[in-house]
Structure 1
Amino acid sequence: MDLSAVQAALSDKSYSTLAPLCDDLLLQTASRGATTDEWPYAVHLLAHLYLNDLNSARFFWKSLSQEVKNARPELVAVWRIGQCLWNRDYAGVYTAVQGFEWGPDLADFITAFLESYRKRIFQLLTSAYSTISVPDVAHFMGMSEEDATNYAVENGWSLDASTKMLTVKKAKAQTNQKLDASKLQRLTECVFHLEH
Protein backbone atom coordinates (compact mmCIF):
# COMPACT_ATOMS: atom_id res chain seq x y z
CA MET A 1 0.00 0.00 0.00
CA ASP A 2 1.43 3.36 -1.06
CA LEU A 3 0.89 6.02 1.61
CA SER A 4 3.33 8.52 0.11
CA ALA A 5 0.52 10.96 -0.74
CA VAL A 6 -0.65 10.92 2.89
CA GLN A 7 2.91 11.42 4.14
CA ALA A 8 3.41 14.27 1.65
CA ALA A 9 0.21 16.00 2.82
CA LEU A 10 1.34 15.68 6.44
CA SER A 11 4.81 17.00 5.60
CA ASP A 12 3.36 19.93 3.65
CA LYS A 13 0.84 20.59 6.43
CA SER A 14 -1.96 20.28 3.86
CA TYR A 15 -4.30 19.02 6.55
CA SER A 16 -7.53 20.02 4.82
CA THR A 17 -6.73 17.63 1.95
CA LEU A 18 -6.16 14.58 4.15
CA ALA A 19 -9.75 13.41 4.77
CA PRO A 20 -10.76 13.03 1.12
CA LEU A 21 -7.32 11.66 0.27
CA CYS A 22 -7.49 9.01 3.01
CA ASP A 23 -11.08 8.13 2.09
CA ASP A 24 -10.11 7.55 -1.55
CA LEU A 25 -6.96 5.60 -0.75
CA LEU A 26 -8.74 3.38 1.77
CA LEU A 27 -11.48 2.58 -0.78
CA GLN A 28 -8.87 1.75 -3.42
CA THR A 29 -6.98 -0.45 -0.99
CA ALA A 30 -10.14 -2.26 0.11
CA SER A 31 -11.28 -2.78 -3.50
CA ARG A 32 -7.98 -4.52 -4.29
CA GLY A 33 -8.36 -6.72 -1.21
CA ALA A 34 -5.07 -5.46 0.22
CA THR A 35 -4.46 -5.51 3.95
CA THR A 36 -4.80 -2.32 5.92
CA ASP A 37 -2.53 -3.29 8.82
CA GLU A 38 -0.32 -0.26 8.24
CA TRP A 39 -3.19 2.16 7.61
CA PRO A 40 -2.82 5.54 9.42
CA TYR A 41 -6.17 5.25 11.19
CA ALA A 42 -5.48 8.03 13.70
CA VAL A 43 -4.47 10.44 10.93
CA HIS A 44 -7.57 9.50 8.94
CA LEU A 45 -9.91 10.09 11.88
CA LEU A 46 -8.21 13.35 12.88
CA ALA A 47 -8.48 14.55 9.27
CA HIS A 48 -12.27 14.37 9.51
CA LEU A 49 -12.23 16.15 12.87
CA TYR A 50 -9.96 18.85 11.43
CA LEU A 51 -12.61 19.58 8.80
CA ASN A 52 -15.29 19.51 11.52
CA ASP A 53 -16.95 16.65 9.63
CA LEU A 54 -18.27 14.84 12.69
CA ASN A 55 -20.65 12.57 10.80
CA SER A 56 -17.85 11.17 8.64
CA ALA A 57 -15.64 10.80 11.72
CA ARG A 58 -18.33 8.81 13.53
CA PHE A 59 -18.97 6.66 10.48
CA PHE A 60 -15.25 5.96 10.11
CA TRP A 61 -14.92 5.08 13.81
CA LYS A 62 -17.91 2.74 13.70
CA SER A 63 -16.56 1.01 10.59
CA LEU A 64 -13.38 -0.04 12.39
CA SER A 65 -13.08 -3.44 14.01
CA GLN A 66 -12.63 -3.70 17.75
CA GLU A 67 -9.27 -5.36 17.07
CA VAL A 68 -8.03 -2.22 15.26
CA LYS A 69 -9.31 0.03 18.05
CA ASN A 70 -7.68 -2.09 20.76
CA ALA A 71 -4.31 -2.16 18.99
CA ARG A 72 -3.99 1.60 18.45
CA PRO A 73 -4.10 3.81 21.57
CA GLU A 74 -3.43 6.94 19.49
CA LEU A 75 -6.58 6.22 17.46
CA VAL A 76 -8.61 5.87 20.66
CA ALA A 77 -7.15 9.18 21.91
CA VAL A 78 -8.24 10.92 18.69
CA TRP A 79 -11.69 9.40 19.12
CA ARG A 80 -11.91 10.92 22.63
CA ILE A 81 -11.48 14.32 20.97
CA GLY A 82 -14.25 13.38 18.52
CA GLN A 83 -16.57 12.41 21.35
CA CYS A 84 -16.01 15.76 23.04
CA LEU A 85 -16.76 17.56 19.77
CA TRP A 86 -19.90 15.51 19.22
CA ASN A 87 -21.12 16.24 22.76
CA ARG A 88 -20.15 19.93 22.51
CA ASP A 89 -17.82 19.51 25.48
CA TYR A 90 -15.67 22.46 24.46
CA ALA A 91 -13.27 22.29 27.40
CA GLY A 92 -13.12 18.50 27.13
CA VAL A 93 -11.50 18.81 23.71
CA TYR A 94 -8.46 20.46 25.29
CA THR A 95 -8.37 17.92 28.11
CA ALA A 96 -8.48 15.06 25.58
CA VAL A 97 -5.67 16.60 23.53
CA GLN A 98 -3.48 17.25 26.56
CA GLY A 99 -4.21 13.83 28.07
CA PHE A 100 -2.19 11.88 25.51
CA GLU A 101 1.46 11.82 24.46
CA TRP A 102 1.16 12.24 20.68
CA GLY A 103 3.65 10.54 18.39
CA PRO A 104 5.74 12.40 15.83
CA ASP A 105 3.30 11.60 13.00
CA LEU A 106 0.45 13.40 14.75
CA ALA A 107 2.04 16.06 16.97
CA ASP A 108 2.05 18.84 14.35
CA PHE A 109 -1.38 17.81 13.06
CA ILE A 110 -2.81 17.95 16.60
CA THR A 111 -1.32 21.43 17.06
CA ALA A 112 -2.89 22.59 13.77
CA PHE A 113 -6.21 21.02 14.79
CA LEU A 114 -6.18 22.94 18.10
CA GLU A 115 -5.39 26.24 16.36
CA SER A 116 -8.24 25.69 13.90
CA TYR A 117 -10.57 24.62 16.70
CA ARG A 118 -9.73 27.70 18.79
CA LYS A 119 -10.46 29.96 15.83
CA ARG A 120 -13.84 28.28 15.30
CA ILE A 121 -14.70 28.61 18.99
CA PHE A 122 -13.61 32.26 18.99
CA GLN A 123 -15.84 32.92 15.97
CA LEU A 124 -18.75 31.24 17.76
CA LEU A 125 -18.19 33.38 20.84
CA THR A 126 -17.97 36.49 18.66
CA SER A 127 -21.30 35.72 17.00
CA ALA A 128 -23.07 34.61 20.19
CA TYR A 129 -22.05 37.25 22.74
CA SER A 130 -21.79 41.00 23.06
CA THR A 131 -20.07 40.71 26.46
CA ILE A 132 -18.65 37.65 28.16
CA SER A 133 -16.65 37.03 31.31
CA VAL A 134 -12.95 36.28 31.16
CA PRO A 135 -13.39 32.93 32.99
CA ASP A 136 -15.99 31.85 30.42
CA VAL A 137 -13.71 32.73 27.50
CA ALA A 138 -10.85 30.87 29.19
CA HIS A 139 -13.10 27.84 29.63
CA PHE A 140 -14.27 27.77 26.00
CA MET A 141 -10.80 28.48 24.60
CA GLY A 142 -8.92 26.01 26.81
CA MET A 143 -6.54 28.70 28.02
CA SER A 144 -5.56 30.41 31.22
CA GLU A 145 -7.53 33.57 31.97
CA GLU A 146 -4.49 35.69 31.14
CA ASP A 147 -3.93 33.94 27.78
CA ALA A 148 -7.63 34.11 26.92
CA THR A 149 -7.72 37.82 27.74
CA ASN A 150 -4.64 38.48 25.62
CA TYR A 151 -6.08 36.45 22.72
CA ALA A 152 -9.38 38.33 22.86
CA VAL A 153 -7.76 41.76 23.13
CA GLU A 154 -5.39 40.94 20.24
CA ASN A 155 -8.49 40.18 18.19
CA GLY A 156 -10.12 43.52 18.89
CA TRP A 157 -12.17 42.81 22.01
CA SER A 158 -11.94 45.21 24.94
CA LEU A 159 -11.50 44.39 28.61
CA ASP A 160 -13.16 45.97 31.62
CA ALA A 161 -10.56 44.98 34.22
CA SER A 162 -12.77 45.89 37.21
CA THR A 163 -15.53 43.43 36.23
CA LYS A 164 -13.33 40.95 34.29
CA MET A 165 -15.75 41.26 31.38
CA LEU A 166 -14.79 41.33 27.72
CA THR A 167 -16.75 43.34 25.19
CA VAL A 168 -16.92 41.51 21.88
CA LYS A 169 -15.97 43.28 18.69
CA LYS A 170 -18.47 42.16 16.11
CA ALA A 171 -17.34 41.57 12.56
CA LYS A 172 -18.61 44.23 10.22
CA ALA A 173 -21.63 43.12 8.26
CA GLN A 174 -21.01 42.81 4.58
CA THR A 175 -22.98 45.24 2.49
CA ASN A 176 -24.87 43.95 -0.46
CA GLN A 177 -23.50 44.94 -3.82
CA LYS A 178 -25.85 47.22 -5.69
CA LEU A 179 -26.87 46.14 -9.13
CA ASP A 180 -26.45 48.85 -11.70
CA ALA A 181 -29.07 49.45 -14.39
CA SER A 182 -26.97 48.06 -17.27
CA LYS A 183 -26.51 44.70 -15.51
CA LEU A 184 -30.21 44.56 -14.75
CA GLN A 185 -31.01 45.32 -18.40
CA ARG A 186 -28.70 42.51 -19.64
CA LEU A 187 -30.26 40.07 -17.17
CA THR A 188 -33.75 41.04 -18.32
CA GLU A 189 -32.80 40.55 -21.98
CA CYS A 190 -31.25 37.16 -21.21
CA VAL A 191 -34.37 35.97 -19.40
CA PHE A 192 -36.57 37.33 -22.19
CA HIS A 193 -34.59 35.35 -24.80
CA LEU A 194 -34.78 32.18 -22.72
CA GLU A 195 -38.55 32.45 -22.35
CA HIS A 196 -39.21 33.14 -26.04
Structure 2
Amino acid sequence: MDLSPIQNALSSGSYATIADTCDELMLQARSPPFRLASRGVRHQDDWPYAVHLLGYIFVNDLNSARFLWKSMPMENKESSPEVVAVWKIGKNIWNRDYSRVYEAIREFEWSAEIADMVAAFSEKYTEKMFQMLNSAYSTISVEEVAKFLGMSEDKATNYSLQHGWKLDTSCKMLTVQKPITVTSQRLLGSSKLQRLTEYVFHLEH
Protein backbone atom coordinates (compact mmCIF):
# COMPACT_ATOMS: atom_id res chain seq x y z
CA MET A 1 0.00 0.00 0.00
CA ASP A 2 1.19 3.51 -0.81
CA LEU A 3 1.80 5.28 2.49
CA SER A 4 3.51 8.25 0.85
CA PRO A 5 0.72 10.69 1.86
CA ILE A 6 1.57 9.99 5.49
CA GLN A 7 5.29 10.38 4.85
CA ASN A 8 4.68 13.61 2.94
CA ALA A 9 2.64 15.03 5.81
CA LEU A 10 5.39 14.11 8.27
CA SER A 11 8.19 15.57 6.16
CA SER A 12 6.28 18.81 5.53
CA GLY A 13 5.33 19.26 9.18
CA SER A 14 1.60 19.02 8.40
CA TYR A 15 1.00 17.15 11.64
CA ALA A 16 -2.60 18.30 12.10
CA THR A 17 -3.54 16.38 8.93
CA ILE A 18 -1.92 13.08 9.95
CA ALA A 19 -4.96 11.57 11.69
CA ASP A 20 -7.33 12.25 8.79
CA THR A 21 -4.78 10.99 6.26
CA CYS A 22 -4.27 7.77 8.22
CA ASP A 23 -8.04 7.28 8.59
CA GLU A 24 -8.58 7.64 4.86
CA LEU A 25 -5.79 5.22 3.96
CA MET A 26 -6.95 2.72 6.55
CA LEU A 27 -10.44 2.74 5.06
CA GLN A 28 -8.94 2.14 1.62
CA ALA A 29 -6.89 -0.74 2.98
CA ARG A 30 -9.98 -2.42 4.38
CA SER A 31 -12.13 -1.95 1.28
CA PRO A 32 -11.98 -3.64 -2.14
CA PRO A 33 -10.01 -3.39 -4.34
CA PHE A 34 -7.38 -2.21 -1.84
CA ARG A 35 -7.77 -5.06 0.64
CA LEU A 36 -4.22 -6.00 1.53
CA ALA A 37 -5.08 -9.52 2.64
CA SER A 38 -5.94 -10.37 -0.97
CA ARG A 39 -2.29 -9.71 -1.83
CA GLY A 40 -0.95 -11.78 1.03
CA VAL A 41 0.00 -8.78 3.19
CA ARG A 42 -1.34 -8.41 6.70
CA HIS A 43 -2.45 -4.81 7.10
CA GLN A 44 -1.75 -4.62 10.83
CA ASP A 45 1.87 -5.72 10.38
CA ASP A 46 2.79 -2.80 8.15
CA TRP A 47 0.49 -0.11 9.44
CA PRO A 48 2.23 2.94 11.08
CA TYR A 49 0.30 2.68 14.32
CA ALA A 50 2.62 5.00 16.25
CA VAL A 51 2.13 7.75 13.67
CA HIS A 52 -1.63 7.20 13.51
CA LEU A 53 -1.97 7.23 17.29
CA LEU A 54 0.18 10.34 17.65
CA GLY A 55 -1.87 12.00 14.91
CA TYR A 56 -4.99 11.68 17.05
CA ILE A 57 -3.18 12.93 20.14
CA PHE A 58 -1.77 15.89 18.22
CA VAL A 59 -5.27 17.17 17.43
CA ASN A 60 -6.56 16.21 20.91
CA ASP A 61 -8.89 13.51 19.58
CA LEU A 62 -8.40 11.27 22.60
CA ASN A 63 -11.56 9.24 22.01
CA SER A 64 -10.25 8.10 18.62
CA ALA A 65 -6.82 7.48 20.12
CA ARG A 66 -8.32 5.22 22.80
CA PHE A 67 -10.39 3.35 20.20
CA LEU A 68 -7.34 2.79 17.99
CA TRP A 69 -5.30 1.56 20.95
CA LYS A 70 -8.02 -0.86 22.07
CA SER A 71 -8.57 -2.20 18.56
CA MET A 72 -4.85 -2.60 17.85
CA PRO A 73 -3.65 -6.23 17.62
CA MET A 74 -1.84 -7.31 20.77
CA GLU A 75 1.18 -8.46 18.77
CA ASN A 76 1.68 -4.90 17.50
CA LYS A 77 1.64 -3.54 21.04
CA GLU A 78 4.12 -6.15 22.17
CA SER A 79 6.46 -5.74 19.24
CA SER A 80 6.51 -1.93 19.07
CA PRO A 81 7.77 -0.08 22.15
CA GLU A 82 7.23 3.20 20.30
CA VAL A 83 3.50 2.54 19.94
CA VAL A 84 3.31 1.87 23.69
CA ALA A 85 5.31 5.05 24.36
CA VAL A 86 2.94 7.14 22.24
CA TRP A 87 -0.07 5.70 24.02
CA LYS A 88 1.56 6.52 27.36
CA ILE A 89 1.42 10.19 26.35
CA GLY A 90 -2.25 9.87 25.43
CA LYS A 91 -3.13 7.98 28.59
CA ASN A 92 -1.55 10.63 30.80
CA ILE A 93 -3.42 13.38 28.97
CA TRP A 94 -6.65 11.43 29.40
CA ASN A 95 -5.94 11.09 33.13
CA ARG A 96 -4.95 14.78 33.35
CA ASP A 97 -1.62 13.78 34.80
CA TYR A 98 0.13 16.76 33.27
CA SER A 99 3.66 16.28 34.58
CA ARG A 100 3.69 12.64 33.43
CA VAL A 101 2.82 13.73 29.90
CA TYR A 102 6.22 15.40 29.72
CA GLU A 103 7.90 12.46 31.42
CA ALA A 104 6.46 10.15 28.77
CA ILE A 105 7.80 12.45 26.05
CA ARG A 106 11.29 12.71 27.52
CA GLU A 107 11.89 9.15 28.66
CA PHE A 108 11.61 7.49 25.23
CA GLU A 109 14.13 7.71 22.40
CA TRP A 110 11.86 8.47 19.46
CA SER A 111 12.55 7.22 15.96
CA ALA A 112 13.63 9.67 13.29
CA GLU A 113 10.23 9.20 11.66
CA ILE A 114 8.24 10.86 14.43
CA ALA A 115 10.82 12.68 16.58
CA ASP A 116 9.98 16.05 15.02
CA MET A 117 6.27 15.44 15.41
CA VAL A 118 6.70 14.57 19.08
CA ALA A 119 8.73 17.76 19.58
CA ALA A 120 6.04 19.81 17.82
CA PHE A 121 3.36 18.23 19.97
CA SER A 122 5.35 18.96 23.14
CA GLU A 123 5.60 22.64 22.20
CA LYS A 124 1.91 22.78 21.29
CA TYR A 125 0.92 21.07 24.53
CA THR A 126 3.03 23.49 26.58
CA GLU A 127 1.30 26.45 24.92
CA LYS A 128 -2.07 24.87 25.65
CA MET A 129 -1.20 24.30 29.30
CA PHE A 130 0.06 27.87 29.67
CA GLN A 131 -3.16 29.26 28.18
CA MET A 132 -5.12 27.11 30.61
CA LEU A 133 -3.15 28.55 33.53
CA ASN A 134 -3.59 32.02 32.11
CA SER A 135 -7.37 31.56 32.13
CA ALA A 136 -7.72 29.71 35.43
CA TYR A 137 -5.39 31.59 37.78
CA SER A 138 -4.64 35.11 38.93
CA THR A 139 -1.65 34.00 41.00
CA ILE A 140 0.13 30.66 41.06
CA SER A 141 3.33 29.30 42.57
CA VAL A 142 6.42 28.76 40.47
CA GLU A 143 6.39 25.13 41.57
CA GLU A 144 2.90 24.55 40.17
CA VAL A 145 3.70 26.28 36.88
CA ALA A 146 6.79 24.10 36.51
CA LYS A 147 4.67 20.99 37.04
CA PHE A 148 2.05 22.03 34.47
CA LEU A 149 4.65 23.00 31.87
CA GLY A 150 7.01 20.08 32.47
CA MET A 151 9.97 22.38 33.08
CA SER A 152 12.43 23.18 35.81
CA GLU A 153 11.35 26.05 38.06
CA ASP A 154 13.91 28.37 36.48
CA LYS A 155 12.71 27.60 32.95
CA ALA A 156 9.06 27.87 33.96
CA THR A 157 9.75 31.25 35.57
CA ASN A 158 11.54 32.54 32.48
CA TYR A 159 8.78 31.22 30.22
CA SER A 160 6.14 33.00 32.32
CA LEU A 161 8.07 36.27 32.46
CA GLN A 162 8.51 36.19 28.69
CA HIS A 163 4.72 36.04 28.42
CA GLY A 164 4.23 39.09 30.62
CA TRP A 165 3.67 37.52 34.02
CA LYS A 166 5.18 39.08 37.14
CA LEU A 167 7.29 37.32 39.78
CA ASP A 168 7.27 37.96 43.50
CA THR A 169 10.69 36.61 44.44
CA SER A 170 9.94 36.75 48.19
CA CYS A 171 7.34 33.99 47.96
CA LYS A 172 8.05 32.56 44.49
CA MET A 173 4.57 33.41 43.30
CA LEU A 174 3.70 34.43 39.77
CA THR A 175 1.01 36.95 38.99
CA VAL A 176 -0.89 36.23 35.80
CA GLN A 177 -1.23 39.12 33.40
CA LYS A 178 -4.54 38.81 31.64
CA PRO A 179 -4.68 40.05 28.06
CA ILE A 180 -6.32 43.45 27.80
CA THR A 181 -9.58 43.31 25.92
CA VAL A 182 -10.50 46.57 24.30
CA THR A 183 -14.14 46.99 23.40
CA SER A 184 -14.59 49.64 20.77
CA GLN A 185 -17.90 51.25 20.09
CA ARG A 186 -18.49 52.90 16.75
CA LEU A 187 -20.47 56.09 17.17
CA LEU A 188 -22.98 57.00 14.50
CA GLY A 189 -22.42 60.32 12.78
CA SER A 190 -25.22 62.87 12.91
CA SER A 191 -26.24 62.23 9.30
CA LYS A 192 -26.34 58.45 9.81
CA LEU A 193 -28.25 58.89 13.04
CA GLN A 194 -30.77 61.10 11.29
CA ARG A 195 -31.29 58.58 8.50
CA LEU A 196 -31.72 55.80 11.06
CA THR A 197 -34.30 57.87 12.95
CA GLU A 198 -36.21 58.57 9.73
CA TYR A 199 -36.12 54.87 8.81
CA VAL A 200 -37.52 53.81 12.19
CA PHE A 201 -40.19 56.53 11.98
CA HIS A 202 -41.15 55.23 8.55
CA LEU A 203 -41.53 51.65 9.87
CA GLU A 204 -43.70 52.75 12.77
CA HIS A 205 -46.07 54.75 10.60
| TM-score, normalisation: structure 2 | 0.84
2:169 alignment partner in structure 1: 161
CA distance in 2, matches of 1:18, 1:170: 34
Report SS of the residue matched to 1:159: strand
Query: Could you tell me how far 1:119 is from its partner in structure 2?
Result: 0.4
Q: Could you give the per-residue CA deviations for residues 92-139 of structure 1, whole angstroms, max 9, x where no partner exists?
A: 001111111111011111100100000000000000000000010001
- After superposition, the Cα gap between the structure-2 partners of 1:20 and 1:133, relative to the gap in structure 1 and judged at 3 Å, is same
| Paired residues, number | 183
| One-letter amino acid matched to 2:140 | I
- After superposition, the Cα gap between the structure-2 partners of 1:74 and 1:170, relative to the gap in structure 1 and judged at 3 Å, is same
Alignment of 1:39-188 (within 5 A): 39-173=47-181, 175=183
- After superposition, the Cα gap between the structure-2 partners of 1:176 and 1:60, relative to the gap in structure 1 and judged at 3 Å, is farther
- After superposition, the Cα gap between the structure-2 partners of 1:143 and 1:178, relative to the gap in structure 1 and judged at 3 Å, is same
1:194 alignment partner in structure 2: none
Unaligned runs of 5+ in 1: 186-196
> Structure 1 stretch 173-182 or stretch 112-121: which is displaced more?
173-182
CA distance in 1, matches of 2:128, 2:118: 15
| TM-score, normalisation: structure 1 | 0.88
CA distance in 2, matches of 1:147, 1:28: 46
1:14 alignment partner in structure 2: 14
Unaligned runs of 5+ in 2: 37-41, 197-205
Query: Could you tell me how far 1:174 is from its partner in structure 2?
Result: 6.4
CA distance in 1, matches of 2:92, 2:57: 11
RMSD: 1.9
CA distance in 2, matches of 1:134, 1:142: 12
| One-letter amino acid matched to 1:93 | V
1:4 alignment partner in structure 2: 4
Report SS of the residue matched to 2:156: helix
Report SS of the residue matched to 1:104: coil
1:33 alignment partner in structure 2: 35
- After superposition, the Cα gap between the structure-2 partners of 1:51 and 1:174, relative to the gap in structure 1 and judged at 3 Å, is farther
- After superposition, the Cα gap between the structure-2 partners of 1:88 and 1:38, relative to the gap in structure 1 and judged at 3 Å, is same
